[in-house]
């Protein structure tokens, strides 16, 4: 269907990546030599007034930002459209309107340039983000994916070969950070703010629940934490700065302990010697320290993405697209986005 000159020059293939699933507009170019350029515009400030992402505002802002970002990465990598060999865009899951902006832009540029475009699962992007670092993990590995919408333990056998071992039955870890941060009167998004405040507190002041840690399965549940924190906050007459820091620290510790214990069980059960931690919450330093300590004990390597690639970015989408296009995958012309999409259904 396509004129596919890229198939003859796999080694120099340059892939444009586009991410617009939620509140970050991002564009990147990835090639065999590595990442050539990437740019992100975060909408956090715009949405913070409303305490969360407003979908319609997100779509409109993606429309405003995507073209300037595209021009920026082309200029930074000293490339022109005609030098691109393929385009990868986030096809889902995410906000319908926001996804459509990226998908339509990607398909239009691809059509005009006569190159293939491929839709990527956002979580596959996160899973592969550690491959952008200087010391990338080899396949296979166990992955802990911890973002604002997902908490999953996945056996990654190879690119596109994923097996779900466990996941949150309710709130995601990032959601637990965000919702409890809100109860403490911290801004949006709450995760980084809560983590910063937690550094000043004592993690042993309050005992918050660490659900499901004694159960054999590898699922998580974080909604009870939000309720426990809400009750604690309601019972207190005055919450001064010290108590707020102690609350933040104890909440963070409960989330980190739960994730660490479940990862340890998963590693013991599967015998993997590589753990990859990815998604927005993988930027959390307390989690990194805890997982480093645990994996050392098990003689297991642990990998995290570089900090700039923990949260949403287009470099991870370009990289995933690069590998899929290199395998010869391609899609037809219809523009399709999938606001709801299970990772396992994206397998190649
Ligand atoms: O992966 P991501 O950018 O977006 C999703 O695909 O969901 O993750 C965003 C989540 C938010 O819940 C945010 O609060 C959390 O990651 N997050 C953090 C930290 N940085 C981002 N949570 C805890 N500590 C952090 N340092
Ligand atoms: Zn994400």
- The pLDDT of residue 251: 98
pLDDT of residue 189: 85
pLDDT < 50 positions in the chain: 1-8
| Distance of alpha carbon 182 from alpha carbon 191, whole angstroms | 10
Find residue 37's DSSP bridge partners.
29
List the residue whose alpha carbon is closest to atom 23 of ligand 1. 191
- What lies within 8 Å, CB to CB, of 47 at 6+ separation is 23, 53, 54, 57, 58, 188
Distance 109 CA to ligand 1 centre (A): 30
Predicted pLDDT at 348 = 62
Q: Are 191 and 281 in contact (CB under 8 A)?
A: yes
Q: How far apart are the first and last CA of the chain?
A: 20
Under 8 Å between Cβ of 17 and 318:
yes
**Cα distance between residue 65 and residue 72, in whole Å:** 11
Hey, is 303 helix, strand or coil?
Answer: strand
Whose Cα sits closest to atom 3 in ligand 1? 311
**Edge-to-edge strand order for the sheet containing 24-31?**
34-42, 24-31, 14-19, 86-92, 117-121
* The model scores a pTM over 0.85: yes
pLDDT at 111: 96
| pLDDT attached to residue 11 | 58
User: What stretch of H or E contains 17?
Assistant: strand 14-19
- What's residue 7's pLDDT? 42
- Ligand 2 centroid to 192 CA: how many Å? 15
Q: Indicate the top mutation candidate among 311, 340, 343 to test ligand 1's pocket, ranked by most ligand atoms within 8 A of CB.
A: 311
């Amino acid at each position: 269907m396509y004129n596919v000159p890229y198939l003859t020059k796999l080694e120099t293939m340059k892939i444009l990546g586009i991410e617009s699933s939620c509140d970050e507009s991002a564009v990147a170019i990835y090639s065999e030599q590595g990442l050539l350029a990437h740019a992100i515009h975060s909408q956090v400030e715009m949405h913070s007034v409303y305490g969360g992402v407003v979908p319609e505002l997100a779509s409109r802002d993606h429309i405003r930002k995507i073209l300037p970002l595209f021009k920026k990465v082309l200029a930074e990598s000293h490339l022109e459209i005609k030098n691109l060999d393929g385009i990868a865009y986030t096809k889902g899951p995410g906000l319908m309107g926001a996804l459509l902006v990226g998908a339509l832009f990607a398909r239009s540029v691809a059509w005009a340039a006569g190159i293939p475009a491929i839709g990527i699962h956002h979580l596959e992007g996160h899973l592969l983000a550690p491959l952008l670092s200087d010391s990338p993990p080899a396949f296979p590995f166990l992955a802990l994916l911890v973002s604002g919408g997902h908490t999953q333990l996945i056996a990654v056998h190879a690119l596109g070969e994923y097996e779900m071992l466990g996941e949150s039955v309710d709130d995601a870890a990032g959601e637990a950070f965000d919702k409890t941060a809100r109860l403490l009167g911290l801004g949006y998004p709450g995760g980084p703010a809560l983590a910063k405040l937690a550094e000043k507190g004592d993690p042993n002041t309050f005992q918050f629940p660490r659900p499901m840690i004694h159960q054999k399965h590898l699922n998580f549940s974080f909604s009870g934490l939000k309720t426990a924190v809400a009750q604690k906050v309601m019972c207190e007459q005055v919450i001064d700065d010290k108590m707020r820091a102690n609350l933040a620290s104890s909440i963070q510790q409960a989330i980190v302990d739960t994730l660490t214990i479940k990862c340890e069980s998963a590693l013991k059960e599967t015998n993997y010697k590589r753990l990859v931690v990815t998604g927005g919450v993988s930027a959390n330093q307390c989690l990194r320290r805890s997982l480093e300590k645990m994996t050392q004990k098990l003689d297991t390597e642990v990998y995290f993405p570089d900090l700039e690639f923990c949260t949403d970015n287009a470099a991870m989408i370009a990289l995933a697209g690069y590998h899929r296009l290199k395998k010869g995958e391609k899609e037809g012309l219809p523009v399709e986005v999938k606001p709801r999409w299970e990772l396992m259904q994206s397998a190649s």
